[in-house]
Amino acid sequence: MNLSIALQALKVNKLRSGLTMLGIIIGVAAVIVMIAVGSGAQARVKEQIAGLGSNLMILWAGSVTTAGVRGGTGTAQTLVEEDAWAVMREISEIQVAAPTQRGSGQIVWGNSNWLAAIVGATPEYFEARDWALISGRLFEAGEMSGAGKVAIIGQTVARELFGDSDPVDQIIRVRGVPFTVIGLLERKGQSMMGQDQDDIVIIPLTTARNKIFGALQGRIGRVSSIFIKSKDGADMKEAEEKVRELLRQRHRLTGNTPDDFSLRNLTEILQAQEAASKVMAILLAAVASVSLLVGGIGIMNIMLVSVTERTREIGLRLAVGARGKDILSQFLVEAITLSTIGGVLGILLGGLGTWLVAELAEWPVQLSVLSVILAVGFSAVIGIFFGYYPARKAASMQPIQALRYE
C-alpha cells in the first residue's frame, strides 16, 4: 500500500524525482566505474606478475667504464654461463637459474619477414619464467650441446610470419641462418615495461653463441642475463643476498669494490606496484563514494523540500485517517524508491561508463559483481538514512497545523 502511494507521489513530480535520482545515478555510476578502473589496474599488475613468473630475480651484466666514460648495464661482459650453474648448485633457496644471451634480428619465413628479439637460452629458461609450450617440444640435450638449429617462437612472431597456419616443423631464417621451428609458446602478454614478451624467438644458448651472436663474442661462455627462480616459500630477500654474495665471490670482488652485475628482484617490484595500485583503487572508490554521499544529501534536501511543500497534503492524509507511521513510511518508501531506482539506473550508466573507458581510453577495466551489489546496497542504505529525517518530520506534524499551512 505504501509503495503504491509513494510511486504515485513520485510519478506526480516526475521532473523533481528525476533530478533527485540524478545524484544517486551519478554516484552509483561513479563508484562502479572507479572500482572497475581500479581493479582493472590491479588485475593488469597481477597479470604481469603471472606473466613474469613467480619468485623471479634477474641478474644483468654490469657496466664498464672506459677512460672515464661509463657504459650502461650489460656493456661489461661480466656474466658467464657458469655463474648460473654455480647459483643453482650452491644456493639451496634457488630452484633454477637460466643463463640467456639476448639480441635481435630479422626473422624470415617464405616471403614474409619480421624483426624480433632473439634469445639464446637453455631449457631452464622456460622453467624459470613459468612459460609453457602450446605445441611442439623443448630443446633436447643433443641440440643444446651440438648447437642445433632449432627455434621455439612466441605468439607474436608466429602470428606475423605464419598467420593462422601451424609454425611447427617449418624452416625459418634467423639472421640468415635456417632454423627448424620445434615449438610454439603460450601467450605471455606485456611485460611491466609494456614490452611485447611474445615477440620472441628462442634458440639454444650454444647455437646463439656460435652461429648468431658469434662475431660479437668476447669472453668464453658470456651471457647477458641470468633468470633466477627461487623455491616456493623460500625467503627471497635472503636468496637475493646469497646470490649477490656468491657472484661477488666468483667475480673476485672484495671490500668496497662495486658489484659488476645488477640483481633485480622483479617480483618484489611488481608486488610494490600491486600494493600501489590497490591504494589507488581504494582512493578512487573513496572519491566516488563521496559523490554517492552527496547524492544522498541531495535526496534528503529534496525530501525536506517535498515535506514542506506537501504539508497540506500531509494534513489532509492525517485528517482522513492516516496515522503518523503511515506518513513516515510513505516518505521513507519514497526516499528508498528514489535511491533504489537511481541505483539501478546508476548500474546501467556505470556499466556503460566502464565500457566507454575500456573502449575509448583503452584502460584495463574489470567490472565486478561485488561493486554492483555494494553500490546498490549503499544507495538503499542512503535512501533510508537520508530519508528518515524528512519522513520523521512529516510524521510528527499535527493535522490542524498542517491543514492550515500556507
Partner 1 sequence: MTLIKTHHLVKTYGVGEQIVHALDDVSLTIEQGEFVAIVGASGSGKSTFMNMIGCLDQPSSGSYDLGGEDVANMSSDELADLRNRRIGFIFQQFNLLARTSAIENVALPLLYARVGPLAELSKEQRYEHAKQRLEQVGLGERLLNTPAQLSGGQQQRVAIARALVNDPDLILADEPTGALDSKTSAEVMALLTQLNQQGMTVVVVTHESDVAAYASRTITFKDGKVIDDSPNKKVSSLGGLS
The contact set with partner 1 (CB under 8 A) reads: 1, 5, 8, 12, 312-313, 315-326, 398-400, 403
Plot region of 184 (φ>0 → left; ψ -120 to 50 → alpha; else → beta): beta
CB 194 to partner 1: min, Å = 59
232: its cell numbers = 616456493
Other beta carbons within 10 Å of 224: 19
Q: Let me know if 123 is exposed, middle or buried by CB neighbors in 10 A (0-12, 13-18, 19+).
A: middle
Query: Which of 3, 348 has the CB closer to partner 1?
Result: 3
CB 345 to partner 1: min, Å = 23
Query: Which of 188, 310 has the CB closer to partner 1?
Result: 310
Amino acid at 221: G
Are 44 and 280 spatial neighbours (Cβ–Cβ below 8 Å)?
Answer: no
Query: Which of 269, 400 has the CB closer to partner 1?
Result: 400
15: its cell numbers = 521532473
CB 14 to partner 1: min, Å = 10
Query: Which of 247, 322 has the CB closer to partner 1?
Result: 322
Distance CA 285, CA 30 (A): 8
CB 303 to partner 1: min, Å = 18
Integer distance in angstroms from the first to the last C-alpha of the chain?
29
Counts for the chain of helices (H) and strands (E), in that order: 13, 12
CB 285 to partner 1: min, Å = 40
Residue ranges in 208-310 assigned as alpha helix (H): 236-250, 266-309
| Residue 139 DSSP SS3 | coil
Distance CA 256, CA 352 (A): 59
41: its cell numbers = 589496474
CB 189 to partner 1: min, Å = 59
Query: Which of 183, 315 has the CB closer to partner 1?
Result: 315
Query: Which of 219, 325 has the CB closer to partner 1?
Result: 325
Other beta carbons within 10 Å of 312: 13
- What burial letters (b/e) apply to 231-256, b meaning 16+ CB within 10 Å? eeebebeebbebbbebbbebbeeeee
Query: Which of 174, 302 has the CB closer to partner 1?
Result: 302
Query: Which of 18, 221 has the CB closer to partner 1?
Result: 18
CB 15 to partner 1: min, Å = 12
166: its cell numbers = 601451424
Other beta carbons within 10 Å of 324: 13
CB 390 to partner 1: min, Å = 19
